[in-house]
């Protein structure tokens, strides 16, 4: 695995997506791939961009800003996917295209107020704490509708859907059950917000189950870049 080059890894992920889609009669074009670059240096991201991968997810604001700067001019799309502290919303509102980790009204209001007027609306996903894990970011499943209504108050933001990181499960059936609960939340939200089009679910180890359960965007780190460097912060 570690001997592979970025082009091979990207091709391997795309092959997994294709196989997963065949298994559930979905069109692979309906599943977007987000490359998660946390703790990887800018040249590693550039190598993937050279292979045509243009959407990147980042978890840490300071680390991300350096890479966004280093890779500006390549027309990459940047998604913030980590826990977001109130005092870090301004650089996120300024430099990112998407924020997938919206989990409380205060963050919504700050991002809306801080989105530069000359930039298009910031695409946002509500992160759901699907398994109600105390240490994990994300709103309670019962709070999704309320948060969506708050987002709807702000033209600087565009609600695109939901994101979740289910508790890790190795059993495929259990993975599917968790993603199925997420898909139900997504469908319930879609009855109120018919414009939503994005369900961000599935990572290196569970993307097949996520795709079988309706994910439209998988977020892949390890399987694209190899193991994260040791010094990285834990997630
Ligand atoms: C790290 C991370 C990923 C990617 O995880 P891998 O297992 O390395 O593919 C996806 N989403 C979020 C929110 C992450 O923090």
Q: What pLDDT digit, counting tens, does each position of 169-178 carry?
A: 999 999 999 9
User: Is the C-beta atom of 143 inside 6 A of ligand 1?
Assistant: no
Element (H, E) at 208: helix 207-212
User: Is the C-beta atom of 221 inside 6 A of ligand 1?
Assistant: yes
Cα R_g (the chain), whole angstroms:
17
d(CA 192, CA 235): 33
In the block, residue with structure tokens 């998407």: 98
Write the class of the CATH domain 6-225: alpha beta
- pLDDT value for 3: 60
Ranges of residues in the chain with a pLDDT under 70 are 1-3, 230-235
Q: Supply the residue whose CA is at minimum distance from atom 12 of ligand 1.
A: 81
User: Is the C-beta atom of 220 inside 6 A of ligand 1?
Assistant: yes
Q: In angstroms, what is the span from residue 194 Cα to ligand 1's centroid? A: 28
Residues 6+ apart with CB under 8 A from 105: 147, 150
- pLDDT value for 234: 45
- Per residue in 31-40, pLDDT tens? 999 999 999 9
- pLDDT value for 235: 46
User: Is the C-beta atom of 37 inside 6 A of ligand 1?
Assistant: no
CB-hemisphere CA count at 13 Å for 116? 8
- pLDDT value for 66: 97
Q: Model's pTM, two decimal places?
A: 0.95
E-strand spans in the chain?
32-36, 55-58, 77-80, 98-102, 122-128, 157-164, 198-200, 217-220
């Amino acid at each position: 695995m570690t001997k592979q080059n970025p082009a091979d890894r990207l091709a391997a992920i795309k092959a997994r997506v294709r196989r997963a889609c065949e298994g559930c009669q979905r069109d692979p074009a309906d599943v977007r791939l987000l490359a998660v670059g946390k703790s990887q240096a800018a040249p590693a991201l550039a190598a993937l961009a050279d292979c045509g991968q243009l959407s990147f997810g980042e978890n840490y604001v300071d680390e991300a800003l350096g890479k966004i700067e280093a890779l500006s001019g390549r027309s990459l799309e940047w998604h913030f996917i980590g826990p977001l502290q109130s005092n870090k919303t301004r650089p996120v509102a300024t430099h990112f295209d998407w924020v997938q980790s919206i989990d409380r009204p205060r963050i919504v209001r700050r991002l809306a107020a801080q989105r530069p007027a000359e930039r298009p609306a910031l695409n946002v996903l509500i992160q759901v704490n699907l398994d109600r894990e105390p240490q994990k970011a994300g709103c309670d499943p019962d709070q999704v509708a309320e948060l969506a209504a708050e987002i709807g108050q702000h033209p600087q933001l565009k609600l695109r859907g939901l994101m979740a990181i289910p508790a890790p499960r190795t059993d495929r059936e259990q993975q599917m059950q968790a993603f199925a609960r997420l898909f139900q939340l997504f469908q319930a939200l879609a009855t109120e917000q018919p414009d939503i089009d994005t369900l961000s679910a599935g990572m290196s180890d569970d993307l097949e189950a996520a795709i079988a359960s309706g994910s439209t965007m998988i977020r892949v780190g390890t399987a694209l870049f190899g193991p994260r460097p040791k010094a990285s912060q834990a997630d």
